[in-house]
Structures are given as structure tokens and as C-alpha cells.
Amino acid sequence: MTRKIRLGAFLPGGGQHIASWRHPDQPADGATNFEFHKQLALTAERGLFDAYFLADGLATSFGGTSEGGSARIAGFEPVTLFAALAPLTRHLGFIATASTTYEEPYNTARKFASLDLISGGRAGWNVVTTATEAAARNFNLDRQHPHAFRYARAQEHIEVVKALWDSFEDDVFIRDKESGEFFDRTKLHRTNHHGAHFKVEGPLNVPRSPQGHPIVVQAGQSDDGRNLAAATAEVVFTAHQHLHTAQEFYRDIKARAVGHGRDPNHILIMPGVSPFVGRTEEEAREKYERLTSLILEKDGVSLLNGLTGGTLDLTGYDLDGPLPPAPPTEGMKSRQALIRQIADENNFTIRQLYQWVASARGHFTIIGSAVQVADTLQEWFENEGADGFNILPPWLPTGLDDFIDLVVPELQRRGLFRTAYEGRTLRENLGLPFPQNRWAARAAHLAAAE
Amino acid sequence: MTRKIRLGAFLPGGGQHIASWRHPDQPADGATNFEFHKQLALTAERGLFDAYFLADGLATSFGGTSEGGSARIAGFEPVTLFAALAPLTRHLGFIATASTTYEEPYNTARKFASLDLISGGRAGWNVVTTATEAAARNFNLDRQHPHAFRYARAQEHIEVVKALWDSFEDDVFIRDKESGEFFDRTKLHRTNHHGAHFKVEGPLNVPRSPQGHPIVVQAGQSDDGRNLAAATAEVVFTAHQHLHTAQEFYRDIKARAVGHGRDPNHILIMPGVSPFVGRTEEEAREKYERLTSLILEKDGVSLLNGLTGGTLDLTGYDLDGPLPPAPPTEGMKSRQALIRQIADENNFTIRQLYQWVASARGHFTIIGSAVQVADTLQEWFENEGADGFNILPPWLPTGLDDFIDLVVPELQRRGLFRTAYEGRTLRENLGLPFPQNRWAARAAHLAAAE
């Protein structure tokens, strides 16, 4: 089978670009409008996307201490939302973000296994450690845990969740009405985890789900983050401005995965891309300019503050002057560095910087015709920059429709993207292998050794 | 408006009676079959039920230490399941159980507010403290916290959740595309809770939901439990074998609610009822005998052990002899006492006891014609025994269909039950008042004082 581009769609109902809610096409209440999210899911499925992806935070952007995109001040908890969208769709995967720092593995394992059951095998878990001070203050803390602590806890959290997902072997259920035997007790297993952060006996009270394990997604960029992704993730979401940094990241993650004894084809690298697509480059540029013109200064400044960890106070600085240095933070280290890099490389003023990152917060923005956008995606895909892309339409629903109506057919013409869903599950569509249950694997190994 | 009977439906896909999965009508895989849960929701809505209710535990019944109903060994996390069912229904409420002991209030508040948004105001939260040792061992503990600790934490947890639900005033959103003002910052509020168990700054990142607050449900029977229910709950679920104990409970809870400054009509008492209904009493009795004949001895014994807190070892006892005493437990104190009471009052052997509690685990079992069942419900409803009932059909889907096809029309003929849904939300259907946002109330109070 020829290698195909994988596509995820980042579709926050409030829009990606911080001014998108002011765009005439976008419902101003999109963030909390269930019918709008349903429309987006159906559209993504029409475009044959692999998955609908939602980020998540555990605090409200409030009081100018975080992103200025105030349309995103409130929304749905993603797993609850995706559970509601699953029965309304047939093929689309659902990748929801959940925190390893502020949830317990038993609860995490349950909700994703339930989503996987409900959707018939279309669930993914985007693992985050939740890097904001505001979130810490919603969970009994005065300050958040250090970066290293969060990553150590994350690694153990994932380990426990995966073990819990294997509690029931796939053929555990007998369900013989005649004899009254419901399940085979030898195929139900305790987890018995005792670690530095968690003690979990198990078993989980949700059976093994259609995908075996829901897809594990990660977006770590720091050294800790890359190690975690290489060890545990099947999809890696990442932000790059240039092919060469994407390639460095791609090769590094694949090499680290091999170091963990993994097949590098079983970990897909999917950079974020924010496309402004027109029938011509000029039309695309007009779309970009239109959204840019809707940004309020205070929202732009607040966005930069949020993206640099909430520590950058721009009060009193000339917006048409350079970006001042920001103090270090325990959260979002790599995002902070990326924003700085964009400013330096382009010699941007504060205003130019927030205008540029307003659409994709550091992800790659492409402005061009369908052919130009497809050219760039193809270049990255064929040169170890990407296995696929997470598309972040700058505004909704039109930004998504543009990509589907203009770019998807171009990619299909080039043989780079599917013309129909191949599999029943997200895992099958992504071309990722079904994880054998650890207990069944052990039993098979012991039987072979006898 | 005449007072009407409120009806909830307890519909675990695996069935209520421990042998129900062996019944020819019930899908053996019902507990983990999403399509079956969809069918049950649509059926409950056809019967004009107020709500679909699901219990929940945070551990698997395993190794004979808990209920023998092995068809319930695994199932869906209830909020995830109900989110998926909400868009497939229009009127039915969804009351999901969630634990105050093993979840954080910020997460609890989010998922129920999200479910309320998705369903257009049909969410309820059944508050439990999760009283099993097995659950404790899934959440980093060796033994569960004492009863008093769990209830103190529950009270504070509910307090924080309700405060978080008020983070956004109902008219906070401006969403003026022209000016770029998305919300009115003076109508978004921090929670700033500092208590013995939680420190939560807020605000929540989900807006106030259609019901203002999702319905809060409680089932505490102990003194702590009754106080918590009287102070915080809007619906109370309870288990009684006799009208006189139901009346004692009903009057006690209403009196305690008045003691908390509440209107006693704003807290609805809904005992559980497990109905075997036939066109004649004889037909009903045949249905009961048929299910009873499907109980395996080992499952019956394991059920009793589970219902008495997992501390009652019946190994070596004659099943046709009396129930031995059980040691005290930190969990399920009131359920343990109820089981003992049933055994003593009826002079039951161990076998007779498990046969009797197999269908409803201590809830009231009624075997009779539609007229007889309606007579009993009417008697309780009109004599301070109940404001409504939680119906626990012993097996599914037929046990639910029987109630809807036979008993509901009889109640409607008597003017005791609705003939169509009255309201848009669960709260409206239950006749419960919309809770004013605490901040709006305070502002109104201050304005009036000026």
C-alpha cells in the first residue's frame, strides 16, 4: 500500500484565529454551540479526515493573564463532546486532550475506553501535562509542579492507563446463558501497579475496547516531551515554521522510538498547518488580510502573553517596536522558545508578531492557492518532515470547507490522500497496528516455551 | 397544577436482576452494547420518563468479593455514555453517578455542565462517596477513608461544584462582532474556595448551562447521608420495603430540608421500585419465578457478600439456614442494615434472601397486575411516601416495556402521570425551580439596598 498523508482537523468551535469569531461566516457562539460542532464533525468526515482533534485546558483565560482569544473563554469538556458526536458520525476519529497531572489514571482509562466502545473504535487520547499556573490553582495547588515532575507523572500515568486497558483479554466473555458463565476469570487481570506517583490495583471496569488501546497522541517538544512521545505515542503533534526544523524533529523522534525498540512506522509525525487557501494566491492573501484586520490590539498583546507562559507583561511597550525578553517559566518552555524564534527570524515588531501567530499560535501558516498548499504539504510529506498534518483552519466553517473543497481534491489527484475511508477504526485508517493484550501475549509466549 | 408522579428509570444495560442476562429477552452483551442502551433510552422516552438513571462504581466486581451479577463486571463510564445518548433523544433526562471521593470538583463541574449543554438542559448528577475497598485500591489508597471523612469531603465537593457552575452569569456573553467585545468581564467570577479538602480558584471554563445547575441527586440513608441530601440535593433516591419506613424517611428529609431554609417541595423523594408486571397477578408471579430460577447459587452468595460490604463470608454455611452476623464496615452501612432487616422480618433463609434481593438489591419489589402496581405507587405517592419512583426493571428490555405498556397508561388514567412532556429541561419536567446565579442574586440584592 502506498504511503498516504494522514489528516487531523483542529476544530475548536470558537475558531482557531483569535479574531475568527468576528468573521461573518463564523457563529459567534460557536465555542458552546453543540449543533455547530456537529456540523464541523460532519464536514470533516465529508473531507475524509482521519480525526477531529481538540485541545484542552483546565482553566479559563481570564484577566489578561492568558490568551486573548476571548471566544475561547468557555467551551465543552472534549471527551463529553466527542461522545455526543460519535453516534452522529461513522468514520471520523476523535482525539481528545486529557491531563495526566490533574486526573487519575483509573478515570482517564475509563473515559477513553468508553469513548472507544461508543464510537466503535474511533477514540484517541492526546496526552498533556497541563502547563499553566491557572490550572494548578484549580486543583488545590498554589503553583504548578516543576516540568520534570509533570513529565515523570505523565509517563507513569500513561503506563497505568495502558495496563488498565489490558485488564480484560479480548476473548474474556463467554456469555453462555445455559451454563451461567459470563466470563473467563483467567482472562481478567489485575494491574497491581505500585509506582512513585500512583498505586492502582485494577482491573478496569470497562472491557478492552475495539482498538485494543485508543490511539495515544503526544505533542511534547522538550527533551522530556520527546522522550515521552517516542516511548509511548502513536501520533505526535508538533509545531514548525520550516521544513528543516520539522525534519530535525521527525528524524529525532523516529530515532528515539527505535531506541525504545519500536518500529518507526508506528509513530506518525503530524505537524500543525494553518492554511489560508484561495482559488488564487491573491484570493488566499485577501482572506488572511481580512482576518488580520479583525484583531484588536489588546487581544493580540494578551495572546502573546498567554503563549509565553503568562509571564510577559507588555504594558508600556511600543507595539511597533521589538519584543522584550520574557522571564523563564515552568510551563510551555518550548512554545515560548518558538514564539521568540519567529520574532527574531522575521525581525517582527510586537504587532507583526501577534498578527502572525494569531491564526495558529506558532504552527505553520500557509497562504496560497490549492496547488501551492498541496506543493508544500507534499514536500514535507516526501522529505521526512511529516507523515501527515493537523489542519488548523483559521476560521470556521469556511476555512475547513476551503481546505476540503480545494486542497483535498488536489492531494487526491496526486495520489497522496485517500478517496474513501479504508478501515473501520481510527487505528485502521491511520495504518497503525492493533496492540496485542499484554496478558494474552505473555500466555502465548509461555505456551510456546513449553 | 396537580402534583404528578415523577419517574426515573434505572437501566443498566446488563440488567438489574443478577440473572437477567440469562433471560431470553435480554442481550447477553447488553452492559457494553451501545445500540442496546440507545434502544433503552428511546423506550424510556416513549414512556415519558423524567430521566434515565445509572449507578456507578470505580472498581470491577472481581474474585467473589463483590456482587455476583457478573454481567455487570464491565460497562460504560456513565457521563460518556449519556453524552452519546443525549443527541439521540429530545426529552429524556440523564442522571449519571459520579464520585466526590475520587474526582476533583473542577473536573466534576466541567463534565456535568458539558452534558447539560449538549443535552439542552437534561443532565443530573447523582452524588456518591463510593463506598468500596476495591475502589480505594484503584486510587492510591490501601483502605478507604472513614465514612465521616467521605461525607465531609462530599459536602465540600458539592459546594465547590455549585460555585463553579455559577462562574458565568447567564447574560455574560455580549458577542458583538462589531466592537470585538465577547463577554462582560464583570459577569465572570472566580470561585476562590479555600476549604479543608479543596482549594479551587476558578472560574470554570464551561459557561452556565441551560438548567443553571444540573439536577443534584443523592441517595444517602445514614445520618450524614440524610443531612447531605437535605442540604444539597433536589432528588433523593432511597430504598424501602414498607410504606411506613418510606414515610419516616420522607418526612425526615423534608423536615431537614426546611431546617436548611429550603422549600420542601424543592426536594423530591423517589424510592426505588422493582416491578414484575403482568396482565394478571399470576402472570406477574410467573415472570418473577422465571427469573428466580435462573440464579446460580454462587452468584446469589456473592451478591449477599457484595451488598453487605464485602465482609460477609458465607463459605460453609447452609444456604437453607439463617444468615450469620456480618462484621461492621466503613462502606454501605445503611444497605447492610437493610439487608439484615429483610432477612429478619421475613425469617428468610440465605437462599430465600438472595432470591428476594436478586432483582433490586434491597429496593421494593412489587409483583402484580398493572392495577395492583398502580395501587401501590398511588398509595405511596398520596401518603407522604414518595414524590415519584425510580423504576428498576428486573430485566431488559421487556421489564421496561411491561411497565410502560401496562402501568403507565393506568397511572395516566388516574391523572397521576403526564401524557406528554411539559418542559424543555429535566428541571422543568421535574417541576424544580431554576437556581438564580449567586452573583446575579448578590448584585440584585445590593442594587435593592441602595
Please tell me the distance from the alpha carbon of residue B437 to that of residue A377, in angstroms, as a whole number: 49
Chain A residue numbers with beta carbons less than 8 Å from the beta carbon of B121 are none
> B306 pLDDT band (50/70/90 cuts)?
confident
Cβ of A84 within 8 Å of Cβ of B86? The answer is yes
> A305 pLDDT band (50/70/90 cuts)?
confident
A46 CB contacts (<8 Å, ≥6 apart)?
A404
- Smallest Cα distance from B230 to chain A, Å: 27
User: Which of A119, A121, A47 lies closest to A85, judged by CA?
Assistant: A119
Cβ of A205 within 8 Å of Cβ of B57? The answer is yes
Cβ of A80 within 8 Å of Cβ of B140? The answer is no
**pLDDT score recorded for residue B302:** 84
- Is B198 at the interface with chain A, CB within 8 A? yes
As annotated, the binding site of A includes: 56, 97, 147, 151, 222
**pLDDT score recorded for residue A109:** 98
Q: Which segment of A394-403, B303-312, B387-396 scores lowest on mean pLDDT?
A: B303-312
Cβ of B205 within 8 Å of Cβ of A173? The answer is no
> A67 pLDDT band (50/70/90 cuts)?
very low
Please tell me the distance from the alpha carbon of residue B132 to that of residue A189, in angstroms, as a whole number: 19
**pLDDT score recorded for residue B316:** 83
Position B271: which residue type?
A: P
User: Which of A16, A6, A99, A17 lies closest to A51, judged by CA?
Assistant: A6
**pLDDT score recorded for residue A108:** 98
| DSSP assignments along B22-52, one per residue | GSTTS-TTGGG-HHHHHHHHHHHHHTT-SEE
Degrees, nearest 5: CA angle B205-B207-B209 = 135
**% of chain B surpassing 70 pLDDT:** 96
Whether pLDDT at A313 is above 90: no
> A360 pLDDT band (50/70/90 cuts)?
confident
> A120 pLDDT band (50/70/90 cuts)?
very high
Q: Helices (DSSP H) in A166-280: which residue ranges?
A: 223-232, 243-259
Chain A residue numbers with beta carbons less than 8 Å from the beta carbon of B296 are 180
Give how far Cα A271 sits from Cα of A53, A268, A281, A361, B409, Å: 13, 10, 22, 13, 59
Q: Residue B369 forms beta bridges with which residues? A: B278
| Mean pLDDT score of chain B | 93
Considering the entire predicted model, what is its pTM? 0.95
Whether pLDDT at A7 is above 90: yes
Average pLDDT over residues A196-220: 96
pLDDT digits (tens, 9 = 90+) for B404-438: 999 999 999 999 999 999 999 999 999 999 999 99
Chain A residue numbers with beta carbons less than 8 Å from the beta carbon of B32 are 117, 206-207
Please tell me the distance from the alpha carbon of residue A402 to that of residue A383, in angstroms, as a whole number: 26
Average pLDDT over residues B397-407: 98
User: Which of B52, B88, B74, B142 lies closest to B390, judged by CA?
Assistant: B52
For A428, phi and psi rounded to 5 degrees?
A: -65, -40
Q: Which segment of A88-97, A220-229, B160-169 scores lowest on mean pLDDT?
A: A220-229
CATH class label, B6-293+361-449? alpha beta
Q: Are A14 and A27 contacting, i.e. CB atoms less than 8 angstroms apart?
A: no
For the question of an ipTM over 0.90, the answer is yes
| DSSP assignments along A343-400, one per residue | HHHHT--HHHHHHHHTTTTTSEEEEEEHHHHHHHHHHHHHTTS-SEEEE--SSTTHHH
Q: Which segment of A85-89, A385-389, B294-298 scores lowest on mean pLDDT?
A: B294-298
End-to-end CA distance of chain A: 38
- Is A42 at the interface with chain B, CB within 8 A? no
pLDDT digits (tens, 9 = 90+) for B345-375: 899 999 999 998 888 877 899 999 999 999 9
Whether pLDDT at A231 is above 70: yes
- Smallest Cα distance from B219 to chain A, Å: 22
**pLDDT score recorded for residue B309:** 66
CATH architecture for the domain at A6-287+361-449: Alpha-Beta Barrel (3.20)
**pLDDT score recorded for residue B125:** 98
Question: Closest-CA residue in chain B for A299?
Answer: B180
Question: Closest-CA residue in chain B for A198?
Answer: B140
Distance of CA B443 to the CA centre of its chain: 35
Whether pLDDT at A262 is above 90: yes
Whether pLDDT at B310 is above 80: no
Chain A residue numbers with beta carbons less than 8 Å from the beta carbon of B207 are 32, 74
If DSSP codes are grouped into helix, strand and coil, which group holds residue A159?
helix
Q: Which segment of A49-63, A260-274, A322-336 scores lowest on mean pLDDT?
A: A322-336
Chain A residue numbers with beta carbons less than 8 Å from the beta carbon of B74 are 168, 204-207
Cβ of B180 within 8 Å of Cβ of A299? The answer is yes
Cβ of A207 within 8 Å of Cβ of B32? The answer is yes
Confirm or deny that B56 is annotated as ligand binding: yes
> A62 pLDDT band (50/70/90 cuts)?
low
**pLDDT score recorded for residue A329:** 64
Partner residue facing B84 (CB), from A76, A83, A299: A83
Average pLDDT over residues A372-385: 98
> B330 pLDDT band (50/70/90 cuts)?
low
Whether pLDDT at A283 is above 80: yes
Q: Residue A97 forms beta bridges with which residues? A: A126
**DSSP assignment, residue A363?**
S
Whether pLDDT at B87 is above 80: yes
Chain A residue numbers with beta carbons less than 8 Å from the beta carbon of B79 are 80, 111
**pLDDT score recorded for residue B443:** 84
Partner residue facing B201 (CB), from A77, A138, A206: A138
Cβ of A87 within 8 Å of Cβ of B84? The answer is yes
**pLDDT score recorded for residue B63:** 45
Cβ of A74 within 8 Å of Cβ of B140? The answer is no
Average pLDDT over residues B184-213: 96
| Mean pLDDT score of chain A | 93
- Is A441 at the interface with chain B, CB within 8 A? no
Whether pLDDT at A330 is above 70: no
| Domain coordinates in residue numbering, chain A | 6-287+361-449, 296-357
**B335 versus B408: which is more confidently predicted?**
B408
If DSSP codes are grouped into helix, strand and coil, which group holds residue B215?
strand
pLDDT digits (tens, 9 = 90+) for B275-298: 999 999 999 999 999 999 999 988
Average pLDDT over residues B167-173: 95
**B51 versus B221: which is more confidently predicted?**
B51
> B329 pLDDT band (50/70/90 cuts)?
low
Average pLDDT over residues B102-129: 98
- Is B21 at the interface with chain A, CB within 8 A? yes
Confirm or deny that B222 is annotated as ligand binding: yes
Please tell me the distance from the alpha carbon of residue B98 to that of residue B320, in angstroms, as a whole number: 38
Please tell me the distance from the alpha carbon of residue A217 to that of residue A267, in angstroms, as a whole number: 9
**A153 versus A331: which is more confidently predicted?**
A153
B263: which 3 cell numbers? 422549600
Chain B residue numbers with beta carbons less than 8 Å from the beta carbon of A204 are 60, 74
**B299 versus B253: which is more confidently predicted?**
B253
Q: Are B164 and B106 contacting, i.e. CB atoms less than 8 angstroms apart?
A: yes
> B65 pLDDT band (50/70/90 cuts)?
very low
Partner residue facing A115 (CB), from B24, B74, B80: B80
Partner residue facing A34 (CB), from B118, B180, B299: B118
- Return the CA Rg of chain B: 22
Whether pLDDT at B178 is above 80: yes
Whether pLDDT at A268 is above 90: yes
pLDDT digits (tens, 9 = 90+) for A413-446: 999 999 999 999 999 999 999 999 999 988 888 8
Please tell me the distance from the alpha carbon of residue B40 to that of residue B23, in angstroms, as a whole number: 16
**% of chain A surpassing 70 pLDDT:** 96
Whether pLDDT at A252 is above 60: yes
**pLDDT score recorded for residue B68:** 44
